[in-house]
Chain A
Amino acid sequence: MDQAKNFTKGFIRENPVFILMLGLCPALGTTTSAFNGMGMGFATMFVVLMSNIVVSLIKNFVPNKVRIPCYIVIIASFVTIVDLVMAGFMPALHEQLGLFIPLIVVNCFVLGRAEAFASKNTLLSSVIDGTGMGLGFTFALTLLGAAREILGSNAIFGLQFIEGDGMLVFILAPGAFIALGYLIALANKLNKQ
């Protein structure tokens, strides 16, 4: 497979959030600001990348019957690593993302990559796929976070550009759904062209 294509597909064409509708819980739950979205995106990307690497390395040794539990354990280990590292080094962000860090383990996007891609492809392809898809996920979360931050608090990455509060609703749950809805509509439109 063309590695460049393999890398870029995660951005729009097979974007996990906008097109595949996977990993929606963190995509909506953590994107109150662009920074939070990006943090969550990178955390997930790390897990995807690492689990892709490990899965791709051990794919020939794991018996087929137990591969799913194995993958889950691998993913869960990396999630625990991320959880602990973040708690240690970025306690503020860790506090913000809260429950969603351990929940990366049940993000079907992560398991999906391991199962659908890494378990069938070479190490290099898996690394590229993990990075690409991870970046696509990060991109989606950052974009959604940015949109919500701009509308909801008149700021982007914490920089206030208009005085006063924005439309508070975009920071809250309803705004998340609505913003993602219109972003997906937009992505569909771009994809069609």
Chain B
Amino acid sequence: MSDIVIYSIITLGAMGAAAAIILFLVAKKFNVVEDPRIDLVEEELPAANCGGCGLPGCRAFAEALVKADDISELKCPVSSSEAMAKISEILGKEIPEPEPLVAVVRCAGTPANRPRNNIYDGTPKCSVASALYTGESNCPYGCLGLGDCVEACRFDAIHMNHETGLPEVTDELCTACNACVVECPRNIIELRKKNKKDRKIYVACINEEKGGVARKSCKVACIGCGKCVKACKFDAITMENNLAYIDPVKCKLCRKCAPECPTNAILEINFPVRKQKAGAQAQE
């Protein structure tokens, strides 16, 4: 019995020592200088080398983590979220908490406001329709209503309202990831500052045509009359290419501009109902 124990210990010990020495020598001789953070990150990983992350082994994953600008896409099925948090700490790749933003759809061209003059029968994608022509209305700037933004959203925060034919953003779910902004072929969606109680006030139109032309294709188009610019006390509204724009940073939410707009192109959302002229604000 003792023989077995002795032999086992000797053999294993000898092999272990041999392996260790060889590895040590080899590692010395063939040393390659690498980003030291890779090792640090690798230490936090489970070293299961299971390939579950889609990359061949934990080291490859660590390298990918070090290389990547945005590590939120890289996931290890074995590691806990604490480990990942620690890794992001090592890499310092946590994006600084930005000012909260929310996506806003700058078009109010419902079928009632913006009559259809043809039927689109192509692939139901805004990008396809936009490359082809102006869309089902005459407004070459307006929302095509085919939902590329809805598809782009990974957080289920944007949905098509089938009555208005326009997308609507659920503010609580919106992470301001910019995906819909990039996807919209007409640049209708904008990320704007998130205000208290999700209040917002903005020009729901990006039509740069001359007033008459814009008005002809859509009842609620901004016609570039400039009344809102005069009404604003904070210089928050600028007029460019026949189009008013409310700077979300300068805007103090005073609501002076909205009643001035002759076409109701300025939308106020989540404000208490106005005492006078309440009927005109049907946007809630």
Within the assembled complex, what's the spacing in Å between the Cα atoms of A116 and B83? 9
Q: How far is the CA of A108 from the CA of B52 in the complex (A)?
A: 10
Contact B43 A22 (CB under 8 A): no
**Interface residue tally on B, bucketed by range:** 10 to 19
**Does the CB pair B78–A116 fall under 8 Å?**
yes
Q: Are A108 and B43 in contact (CB under 8 A)?
A: no
Q: Would B48 and A108 count as touching, CB distance under 8 A?
A: yes
Would you list which residues of chain B between 36 and 52 have a CB under 8 Å from chain A? 43, 46-50, 52
Contacts of A108 in B (CB 8 A): 48-50
Q: Is the beta-carbon distance between A21 and B47 smaller than 8 angstroms?
A: no
Bound state CA distance, A66 and B19, in angstroms? 12
Interface SS of chain B: loop
Tell me the minimal C-beta distance from A110 to chain B in angstroms: 9
The reply to whether A20 and B52 form a contact with Cβ atoms under 8 Å apart is: yes
Find A111's partner among B19, B20, B43, B48 (CB 8 Å cutoff): B48
Instruction: Please give the residue numbers on chain A whose beta carbons come within 8 Å of chain B beta carbons, in ascending order.
Output: 19-22, 64, 66, 68-69, 73, 108-109, 111-112, 115-116
A115 to B83, CA, bound (A): 12
Say yes or no: A22-B50 contact (C-beta < 8 A), given A112-B78, A116-B78, A116-B79. Answer: yes
Consensus secondary structure, chain A interface: helix
**B111 at the A/B interface (Cβ < 8 Å)?**
no
Q: Is B48 within 8 A of A22, CB to CB? A: yes
Inter-chain CB contacts under 8 Å: number? 35
B48 touches A116 (CB 8 A): yes
- Measured between beta carbons, the chain A residues less than 8 angstroms from B77 are 19-21
Nearest 8 pairs of A and B residues by beta carbon: A112-B48, A116-B46, A108-B50, A108-B48, A115-B47, A115-B46, A112-B78, A112-B46
Q: List residues of chain A with CB within 8 A of the CB of B46.
A: 112, 115-116
Chain B nearest CB, measured from A70 CB (Å): 10
Q: Which residues between 1 and 38 of chain B lie within 8 Å of chain A, taking CB atoms? A: 16, 19-20
Kindly provide the distance from the CB of B17 to the nearest chain A CB, expressed in whole angstroms: 12
B123 contacts the other chain (CB 8 A): no
Q: Cβ of B52 and Cβ of A21 under 8 Å apart?
A: yes
The answer, yes or no, to whether B80 is at the interface (CB within 8 Å) is yes
Q: Give chain A residues whose Cβ lies under 8 Å from the Cβ of B48.
A: 22, 108-109, 111-112, 115-116
With both chains docked as a complex, state the minimum distance between the C-beta of B52 and any C-beta of chain A, in angstroms.
Answer: 6
Nearest residue, chain B, Cβ from A24: B50
Query: Given A22-B48, A22-B52: A116 and B80 within 8 A (CB)?
Result: yes
Residues of B within 8 A of A68 (CB): 47
A22 touches B47 (CB 8 A): no
When the two chains form the complex, which single residue of A66, A69, A73, A112 contacts B50, counting CB atoms closer than 8 Å? A112
Determine whether the beta carbon of A20 is less than 8 Å from that of B47.
Answer: no
Say how far A105's CB is from chain B's closest CB, in angstroms: 13
B49's nearest neighbour on chain A, judged by CB, is A108
